[in-house]
């Protein structure tokens, strides 16, 4: 990812996300990803953690969530959220690309509204490909990009192929080299 947002930009973004989430609950987007109990999910570019609460409901206590962000304020916000709620199955990772997550251990990667900000999208996609299970999926949305930009950006490296288009997201399957 590019440099983290400034403190004021991050706080403003967090506030607007809270308003957005009141009117457009994140669970509606997550349902398109087909997340089930016991899944391991990586939220790449998690921001202030808008998806963490609904994810914990979907994966249950037997599932695991990895929340990754480059911004220290995002990392702090998610750590505070999981501490306040007592979540033991959420791990927060401060990184701009490498996740440290074991190879082929993730059922679903969320890449929501962050692709347009990536300085090294090919490197990030390579890392996401590495951590996804062979039958895993990458759920993608980015309102800053047109559909054709999304599809070409995700498939040009031949790591992913478009497998479904939902009302709010595109689903990409892992290509085997």
Q: List Cβ neighbours of 117 (8 Å cut-off, separation of 6 or more).
A: 1, 2, 45
pLDDT reported for residue 130: 98
pLDDT reported for residue 4: 63
3-state helix, strand, coil in the chain (%, to 5): 40, 25, 35
What gap in Å lies between CA 41 and CA 66, rounded to an integer? 6
pLDDT reported for residue 31: 92
- pTM of the complete model: 0.89
β-sheet with 132-141: strand ranges across: 90-94, 64-69, 40-44, 106-112, 132-141, 170-174, 160-165
Per residue of the chain (177 residues), what is the pLDDT tens digit? 455 667 787 677 766 777 666 677 788 889 999 999 999 999 999 999 999 999 999 999 999 999 999 999 999 999 999 999 999 999 999 998 899 999 999 999 999 999 998 999 999 999 999 999 999 999 999 989 999 999 999 999 999 999 999 999 999 999 986
Nearest to 112 by CA among 166, 174, 64: 166
Contact between 90 and 67 (Cβ < 8 Å): yes
Contact between 151 and 165 (Cβ < 8 Å): no
Domains in the chain: boundaries = 7-174
pLDDT reported for residue 92: 98
pLDDT reported for residue 3: 57
Give domain 7-174's CATH superfamily.
Vaccinia Virus protein VP39 (3.40.50.150)
């Amino acid at each position: 990812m590019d440099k983290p947002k400034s403190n004021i930009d991050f706080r403003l973004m967090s506030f607007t996300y809270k308003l957005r989430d009141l009117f457009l609950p994140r669970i509606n987007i997550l349902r398109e990803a087909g997340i089930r109990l016991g899944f391991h999910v990586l939220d790449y570019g998690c921001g202030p953690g808008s998806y963490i609460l609904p994810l914990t409901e979907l994966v249950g206590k037997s599932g695991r969530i990895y929340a990754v962000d480059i911004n220290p304020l995002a990392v702090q916000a998610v750590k505070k959220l999981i501490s306040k709620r007592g979540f033991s199955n959420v791990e927060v990772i401060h990184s701009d690309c490498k996740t440290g997550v074991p190879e082929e251990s993730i059922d679903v990667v969320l890449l929501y509204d962050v692709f347009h900000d990536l300085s090294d999208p090919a490197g990030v996609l390579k890392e996401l490909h590495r951590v996804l299970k062979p039958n895993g999926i990458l759920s993608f949305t980015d309102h800053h990009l047109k559909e054709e930009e999304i599809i070409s950006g995700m498939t040009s490296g031949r790591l992913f192929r478009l497998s479904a288009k939902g009302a709010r997201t595109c689903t990409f399957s892992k290509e085997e080299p």
